[in-house]
Amino acid sequence: DGGITQSPKYLFRKEGQNVTLSCEQNLNHDAMYWYRQDPGQGLRLIYYSQIVNDFQKGDIAEGYSVSREKKESFPLTVTSAQKNPTAFYLCASSIPGLINSPLHFGNGTRLTVT
Amino acid sequence: AQKITQTQPGMFVQEKEAVTLDCTYDTSDQSYGLFWYKQPSSGEMIFLIYQGSYDEQNATEGRYSLNFQKARKSANLVISASQLGDSAMYFCAMREWGNFNKFYFGSGTKLNVKP
């Protein structure tokens, strides 16, 4: 079955360490996204990519970095520059150029930084 | 201005009753799409239903229907015959023709279904 796999489900890190969240999809979607969700709140866009080797900053990109070397993969690095990294991170994919194409989400990674 | 507004932070509904979750949107595009997602406590986001701005009929998917009132810029989700498993957060989202790259999300409504 096609879908999006995020790993790990839970991640614990010490303050000052960089950490990379994995996102892999086999839906053959060109567009991929990273969202952050804080408790009781909506989703905020961190980065998105419409095509391999290209990505754009979203609304809250500071302290994060991404790469898109393969169509299937869009890893997110949370750097030590991110002031409040503890959050729930969701990866998603979609078909660009098709307005009725919904976002397909992974199951998320819950990051705790102490 | 916010693109998507969900004014009900939390709602209760009795099992087997119908419930309406409100969503209003703001866009100057003529072509746009509206989406509803369900997020159970486990965290995954589940796509429920889609409505296109040019669709003349309200969208329906099983127990979910979308009450689309274009002139009022509202896209309310109606869940019929609520079940305990419907207890979750619900998010309304929009995608505009002029900016395909972005999905705008509301702040969500937490629905609790009472037995």
> Residues of chain B whose pLDDT is less than 50?
none
When CB atoms are compared, the residue of A42, A50, A106 closest to B101 is: A50
Bond before A8 cis per omega within 30 degrees: yes
Over residues A51-74, the pLDDT tens digits come to: 999 999 999 999 999 999 999 999
Predicted local distance difference test score (pLDDT) of residue A8: 92
Rounded to the nearest 5°, which phi and psi values hold at B84? -60, -35
Q: What is the 3-state secondary structure (H, E, C) of A64-100?
A: EEECCCECCECCEEECCCCCCCCEEEEEEEECCCCCC
Best of A5, A89, A103 to disrupt the B interface (most B CBs within 10 Å) is A103
Residue found under tokens 């909506």: A42
Instruction: Tell me whether B54 touches chain A (CB under 8 Å).
Output: no
Band of residue A1 on the pLDDT scale cut at 50, 70, 90: low
